[in-house]
A and B are shown apart, each in its own frame.
Chain A
Amino acid sequence: MDRRVDVAVALAVVALGVAILVLTQRIADSPVPDPIGPRGVPTVLGTFFVVAGILLAGRRLIGWRDGDTFVPHEGSDDDPGVPPGSARRALSIWLAALVYVVTLPWVGFIVGTPLFTAFMLWRLEMNRGPLLMIPAIVAFPVIFTAACYLFFATFLGVRLPLGFVREIVTRLTG
């Protein structure tokens, strides 16, 4: 794994600890007296994050010049024997999912879901396989959205957001 990202993650832990310690100061006193109080556990946790983050970053920074950029993996690795992973692909899918959920009330489930699933299939390079895969990018999102709408909205009675197509759907379904 890349030790630069490892250090960045460790520093994020330090930042989280600092944020917890700062926000802990804003917690009001409890009306019920107890020796730990509402600030006790957050203070211990925030302090621990700062110390642990510094230790984790420090062990990489010591001897930085002598060491290699890539260090033994401590977490999960990519699947072996297949093309290497792309963090950019994974993060773009995550970002698309965020846009999908944030815009869900306005765009609606019926329009947003096929767009998101088609984007995900495209980013996973579904279009680079046999020719049959190209229609799959269109067919799968449409069939999946229809099946989910039927199951969740009709069968389970979940109120899925319809967004700007609400009037059309309401008119069609009566």
Chain B
Amino acid sequence: MGDFIGPLSGGIGMFFVPTVILSILLGVLWGAFAGAMPGFNQTLAVGIALPLTFAFGAIEAVAFLCAISVGVSYGNSIPAILVGIPGTASAVLTAIDGHALHKAGKSGLALGVAYFAALSGQFVSVLFFILLVVPLSGLAYVFLAPELFALSVIGMTAILSLTGRNVLKGIVAAGIGLAFTMVGPDPIGSVPRFTLGVLEMRGGLQIVPITLGLVALSEIIRAARQSHDWQGVTESFDARFPSLRDLGRTIRPVLGGTIIGTLIGCIPGMGGTPAAAVSYQQAKIFSKHPEEYGRGSIEGVAANEAAQNAAQSGEMVPTLGLGLPGSDSMVLLLAALTIHGLVPGPLLIQESPEMLQAAVAGLLGATLILVVIGWRISSVLLAVVTIDRRLVLTFATALIIIGVFALRQSIFDLILLLVCGIVGYFMSRYGYSTAAAAIAVVLGGFAEAYLRQGLNLARNDWGNFLSRPITATILIFAVALLIYGIWSTVQHGKSAKQAMLEAMDVDIPPR
């Protein structure tokens, strides 16, 4: 019990540190603001803010980035409901039911239920987060170099097996991330590799410009292909908070969504989108009004919002507990830790328990701030929804460039950012997961070091290395995930081809 109370009380204690609470306030406001902008996802919101964390201490940086995640998840329900455009994929179902309610003149009901469910889900899931992450960190000293190598491998394979449509492209993507980590001194003998005589490459490439380029700038380049603005939020609507009776109807889907969201969020590569989908489906099955789902169901909005917010805390479990980022925004969180000289991995919480407390402070503090001001600032966020998309893209591009420059005042880092941006653009357009590449950038360097140190530990014998029980178990699990990935690639290829033939109205031969 003390293990649970310690991080919780430590996190709450941080509320009384002025710099921490200010960081949380700034983070949650920026997150809610960014989330309310249609087409602005969590990765972009965290990505823009990431370089600024060099001006913060490590504790403030973690609390700030966690608070942004909470703010984005809350803010993105607003464009989903009012414009019908989800800021993130996980808000798609909120967009369907919430926008239907908006069109039926029940905007206040939809916004109020989203507010209630999002914050309830977030609040309860923080407690689950502590319960799950503390036992994981207790395993830290069981993990030596071979186990840490196996963890790095599963961190990379999980996301490409669970999210990619073509697993071979996913492995290539992870390989591209790994290739970036090979530039500079090798991790054992410090022999220079792939420096091409460039002075700036002798010490290795910086993680932040690479990850920001791959996951954030690439998305902006993709979005810049199209010139348009979001429509449909000009009409007036009622914004009365829902009654207690209406909120009472949503308690069961909120609880279900919170549990499902936290558990699914814990699995690297899953995150908010499948959590929201499973939670929505579960709520529909147990609902007394399943016919309302998809046509304006407050239970559907509640289940979806609770799950996607709870998934935020879930994603933190492998990220902080094992150093395995569950999503691209978690990769950026780990990149922020490296700015402050911290090494992501199972030892992180054992050696720097204040990081866990900072995460709890960020998640919990941001939720409490939103409880107080969330409903009131929604009228301000409504104005944000109408900001022109083209201004948003320009703002985001310029701010990422200036932010990366601010880190080290290096033009080389900016060129690296842009090169990774265009590489990431082609990767994401043609099915090479940029998230897998970014995760490999963060984990890859450590993976090679652990592999080589681990082999030394195993007296240079692969048999000894691979037969360590925990290493073998994790690697077998990684192989199983890869097999699953290959199977789903084949299945997806078949169904995509079928769908395309149907769309082209081609005669399909019977099977």
Contact = CB atoms under 8 A, between A and B. Distances in A.
Given A1-B429, A140-B391, A49 B172 contact: yes
Given A1-B429, A34-B188, A156 B406 contact: yes
A131 B388 CA distance: 14
The prevalent SS among residues of A at the interface is helix
A101 B401 contact: yes
B165 A74 contact: yes
Interface string B164-194: 0110110110011011001000101101111
Contacts of B395: 144
Given A49-B172, A128-B227, 6 more contacts: A34-B456, A34-B460, A36-B451, A42-B182, A86-B226, A97-B397
Interface of B: 39, 52, 55, 165-166, 168-169, 171-172, 175-176, 178-179, 182, 186, 188-189, 191-194, 196, 221-229, 388, 390-391, 393-395, 397-399, 401-402, 405-406, 409, 411, 414-415, 418, 421-422, 425-432, 448, 451-452, 455-456, 460, 493, 496-497, 499-500
A78 B390 contact: no
Contact of A16 (B179, B189, B429): B179
Nearest to B429: A75
A27 interface: yes
B129 to A, nearest CB: 30
Interface string A5-30: 11001000100100010010001111
A105 B415 CA distance: 13
A48 interface: yes
Given A27-B191, A83-B227, A9 B398 contact: no
A100 B394 CA distance: 14
26 contacts: A9-B430, A27-B191, A31-B189, A34-B188, A35-B455, A41-B451, A45-B182, A48-B175, A52-B171, A71-B500, A74-B166, A75-B165, A76-B429, A82-B228, A89-B227, A94-B421, A100-B401, A101-B405, A113-B402, A117-B394, A117-B398, A120-B394, A125-B390, A140-B391, A140-B394, A148-B398
A134 B273 CA distance: 39
A136 interface: yes
Contacts of A78: 225-226
Interface string A71-108: 11111101100111111011101100110111011000
A83 to B, nearest CB: 6
Contacts of B178: 41, 45
A55 interface: yes
A48 B397 CA distance: 34
A153 to B, nearest CB: 10
A158 interface: yes
A62 interface: no
A106 to B, nearest CB: 11
Interface in A101-145: 101-102, 104-105, 109, 113, 116-117, 120-121, 123-126, 128-129, 133, 136, 140, 144
Interface residues of A, number: 76
Nearest to A81: B228
A140 B397 CA distance: 14
Contact of B402 (A71, A105, A148, A159): A148
Nearest to A9: B430
A150 interface: no
Contacts of B427: 9, 75
B191 A29 contact: yes
B188 A32 contact: yes
Contacts of B497: 72
B193 A38 contact: yes
A101 B415 contact: yes
B191 A38 contact: yes
B169 A30 contact: no
A79 B186 contact: no
A93 B189 CA distance: 42
Contacts of A91: 221, 422
B393 to A, nearest CB: 7
B226 to A, nearest CB: 5
Contacts of A73: 431, 496
Nearest to A6: B430
B430 A1 contact: yes
Contacts of A100: 401
Contacts of B426: 5, 9
List of 8 A-B pairs having minimum Cβ-Cβ separation, nearest first: A74-B431, A85-B225, A30-B189, A72-B496, A38-B186, A101-B414, A75-B431, A124-B390
Contact of B391 (A13, A125, A136): A136
Contacts of B456: 34
B40 to A, nearest CB: 13
A38 B418 contact: no
B415 A102 contact: yes
A5 B52 CA distance: 37
B489 to A, nearest CB: 9
B229 A129 contact: yes
B19 to A, nearest CB: 15
A38 B189 contact: yes
Given A104-B411, A156-B406, A74 B430 contact: yes
Given A89-B227, A90-B221, A35 B460 contact: yes
Given A78-B226, A125-B390, A158-B409, A13 B430 contact: no
A64 B387 CA distance: 46
A42 to B, nearest CB: 6
A151 B175 CA distance: 38
Given A76-B429, A136-B391, A97 B182 contact: no
Contacts of B405: 101, 104, 158, 160
